[in-house]
Amino acid sequence: METNFGASVPYTVGVEEEFQLVDAESFGLTPVIDAVLAARDAAGLPASSITSELSASCLEVRSPVCNTVAELATELATSRRKVRKLVEGCGARLAAAGTHPFSDAISQPITGDERYLRVVKEMGWTARMQAIYGLHVHVAVPDEETAIQAVNALSRHVPLFVALSTNSPFWGGIDTRLSSARVKVFGLVPRSGLPPRFRSWEDFEGYVDALIASKSIPDFSRCWWDVRPHPDLGTVELRAPDAQTEVARTASLVALVQCLVATADEHSHEDPLFTEENKWRATRDGLDAQLYDFSTGEHYCARDAARGLVGSLRPVSQELGCEAELEGVLDITKNGTGTEKQRAVFAEGNSTKDVARYLVAATADA
C-alpha cells in the first residue's frame, strides 16, 4: 500500500464538514447540490474544496491544510461565508447539525455521481438512510507506526468526542431520546464504528489487503471507522463527531484531536469492546453520560472527564499553539452541546421546524 505519511509537517490539521441544504421557506432538506456545484464552478472556486456527498441535500466543504488550529478556524469562518452565499444564491439555506430535525431520510434523492449510485446498489436501504452530517478531522503524522499509535489513542477517546459533539437528537420529526441519533444511523453502514485494535501498520495493511482480495471493498476508503489512518493524505482521521453548528466548537474539537495525536504514545489502549460500552452511553446521554473505567472499576462523568483531559493536555497545547482553542472544550462542558441547545429551542414551541430555523440562523451567525 502506498502512503504519504511525512508529506506534510507533523500535526498540521484540516477538516471536512458536511452541511445540510435546507429550503428557505419550509426549512426541510432540499436536493440542490447540482445547482450549488454549478455556482461553485461559475465562481471559480476549487472543485476539491466544495463537493457533493451521497445525499443530494448534503454539501461537503473541505478545508486547506493548516499549520495551526487558529489558522484553520479563520479558514472555516471564511469558507462558511462563501458557501452560504453560494447556497443562498440557489434559493436554499445552509444548516450544520448531525441530522435534520424533521425531513425524511429515505425520500432524499441520491447524488447522480456514479460512485454514489454504486454505493446505493451495494447497500440499498442502508445507504438511503444516510441523510446524516458529520465532522471529519485530519491530523498529519510522520510515519505509518505513528499513525497506528494515534488511531489507537483516539479510539479510546471516541466516547468523549461523541459526548462533546452531540448535535442530532431529532430524527424524522421526533426526539429520539438519544444525544446523537447520527451515530446510530451511521452504525448501519458496514465497517463503521470503532476500528479493530491494530498492533502495527502491517496489521492494518494485512486487514485491508484481505478485504480487497475478498472483494468486500475496492480500497481502504471503504473502512468508515470512527478513527482510521488515511494513507493517501498521510493523516489520521477522526470521523466520530456530529457536524457542529458553530465554527468555534469545530476548532475546539480539532485542538483536542491534535493534542491527543501529538501525545499518542502517552495514552493507554483499551479493548474496543469496552470502549463500545462507553460510546453507547455517550451516544445516549451526551456529556451527562456516566462512563466506566474498566481498568479501575470506577464510574466517571463525561463532562468531568473532558475537563480533566483539557487540563492534562495544556502543556502540549501550548507547544502546538492551540491553547485558546483547546480551552473552548471547557465552554462546551459549561454551556452545553448542540443537542442540548436544539432541545431547548424545541421546548419553547414544541416545533421541529423552529429547531431547523434556529440551526439555519445559528449556522449563518457562526
pLDDT (tens digit, 9 = 90+) per residue, 238-248?
A: 999 999 999 99
> Percentage of the chain surpassing pLDDT 70?
99
Helix, coil or strand: residue 174: strand
Amino acid at 138: H
Alpha carbon 184 to its chain centroid, in Å, reads: 14
CA–CA gap between residue 142 and residue 88 (Å, rounded): 41
Considering only 39-53, 153-167, 330-344, which range has the smallest mean pLDDT? 39-53
Average pLDDT over residues 145-163: 97
Instruction: Give the span between the Cα atoms of 319 and 336, in whole angstroms.
Output: 28
Q: What would the pLDDT profile of 282-319 be if each residue is shown by its tens digit?
A: 999 999 999 999 988 999 999 999 999 999 999 999 99
pLDDT score of 271: 85
Tell me how far apart the alpha carbons of residues 350 and 346 are, in angstroms, rounded to a whole number: 5
Res 279 pLDDT > 70: yes
For 92-140, the pLDDT digits (tens) are: 999 999 999 999 999 999 998 888 899 999 999 999 999 999 999 999 9
b/e 57-78 (16+ beta carbons within 10 angstroms → b): bbbbbbbebbebbbbbbebbee
pLDDT of residue 192: 96
Domains assigned to the chain: 13-365 (3.30.590.20)
Identify whether the C-beta of residue 147 lies closer than 8 Å to the C-beta of residue 267. no
Other beta carbons within 10 Å of 175 = 16
Among the listed residues 271, 292, 270, 273, the one whose alpha carbon sits nearest the alpha carbon of residue 281: 292
Residue 17 has pLDDT above 90, yes or no: yes
3-state secondary structure (DSSP) of residue 299: strand
- What is the structure's pLDDT at 275? 95
CA nearest 190: which of 137, 134, 119?
A: 119
- Using left for φ > 0, alpha for ψ between -120 and 50, and beta otherwise, residue 115 falls in alpha
pLDDT band at residue 366 using 50, 70 and 90 as cut-offs? low
pLDDT in tens, 247-266: 999 999 999 999 999 999 98
| Percent of the chain predicted with pLDDT > 90 | 94
CB within 8 A of 14, min separation 6: which ones? Answer: 62, 63, 64, 65, 66, 72, 137, 138, 235
Q: What is the DSSP string of 112-131?
A: --HHHHHHHHHHTHHHHT--
